[in-house]
Structure 1
Amino acid sequence: MSKKLLFGILLATTPLLTGCWTVQSGQKSGIIVKVAKEGRYWGTWEGELIRGGLDNASGATGREFHFTLGQFKSDLVNQAISAMENNRHVVLRYHCDQFVLPWSGETKCFVDNIKVLETVKTPVKAQ
């Protein structure tokens, strides 16, 4: 009887510990500087976004945002790779879960959507 009870408790708590609790969601903008498949046992696509500091060529680097794109090479991964290779400014829509399983990703933040922004031209100053 105790094995059935233990199995029932495990079965009931597993959904609570596998990403059902979204603790943060939102958008971040910047330039993607890394997209790679990482992981010792289960490879997941991971990325890094630099927020600010790169546009004015001041040499100052912005803050990093590490995120997970998923386990399989999807359209989202291809879009991130293309934006990185072309040095395009992007807006990431993401959510962060309280608990994640080891095969879900290296981070707790998962990207839901990537919007590649059009290049912004700087206005020419009149003399």
Structure 2
Amino acid sequence: MTKRLLFLFIILSMGLLSGCWTTKSGQKSGIIVKVAKEGRYWGTYEGELIRGGLEDASGATGREFHFTLGQFRSELVKKAELAMQNNDHVIIFYHCEEFVAPWRGETKCFVDDIKILDTKDKKHPPKESNDSSVDQ
């Protein structure tokens, strides 16, 4: 009887604590370099975003941000895969939770939305030259 109550208490506690407390939320921009279904028992879609260092070829190493997209192949997963395949710069909107049940993801950060930035069509204005040898 006590084993049943203890088991019921543990299951109930995990259900109540998982997804209750959002510890942080915000936005991050960068390039998605990985979208994969991972997990030993419960497969969830996990991703990795590299922030900085890739687009300007500065040689600086970008910082990684690992996130969970969810358990099922949703529109969010398709959008992340499309951005990764096209090497698009994105802004992800995310939140992180304090307690996460094992079947919800490998990380504590969950993506709510992905905005793909349209940087390829923008024309960069010509740089002004400071050449003093121009005829006046």
CA RMSD between the two structures: 1.9
Which residue identity lines up with residue 125 of structure 1 in the other structure? K
Give 2:125's aligned residue.
Answer: 123
Query: How many residues are treated as equivalent by the alignment?
Result: 127
Distance 1:71 1:87 in 2: 24
Q: Note the alpha carbon deviations across 1:12-52, whole angstroms, 9 max, x for none.
A: 53343212111011111111011011111111000000111
- Note the residue ranges of structure 2 that are not aligned, 5 or more in a row: 130-136
Specify the SS of the correspondent of 2:81. helix
Return the alpha-carbon distance in structure 2 between the equivalents of residues 84 and 25 of structure 1.
23
Q: Give distance in 1, aligned partners of 2:17 and 2:126.
A: 54
Per the alignment, in what secondary structure is the counterpart of residue 78 of structure 1? Answer: helix
- AA at the equivalent of 2:35: V
- Post-superposition offset of 1:2: 5.1
SS of alignment partner, residue 84 of structure 1: helix
Normalized against structure 2, the TM-score is what? 0.83
Rate the CA distance shift 1:2–1:43 in 2: closer, same or farther, 3 A.
closer
Matches within 5 A, 1:4-43: 6=6, 9-10=9-10, 13-43=13-43
Shift of 1:58: 1.4
CA spacing shift, 1:2–1:91, aligned 2, 3 Å: same
Match of 1:88 in 2: 88
User: Given that residues 35 and 46 in structure 2 are in contact (C-alpha distance below 8 angstroms), is that contact kept between their aligned partners in structure 1?
Assistant: yes
Query: What are the Cα deviations for residues 52-93 of structure 1, in whole angstroms up to 9, with x where unaligned?
Result: 112211121211000000001110000000001101111100
Give the alignment's TM-score, normalised by structure 1: 0.88
Cα distance, 1:121 vs structure 2: 3.5
Q: What is the one-letter code of the residue matched to 1:89?
A: H
Larger Rg: 2
Supply the distance in 1 between the matched residues of 2:5 and 2:40 (Cα, whole angstroms).
33
Moved over 6 A (4+): none
Superposed, which structure 2 residues align to 1:88-107 within 5 Å?
88-107=88-107
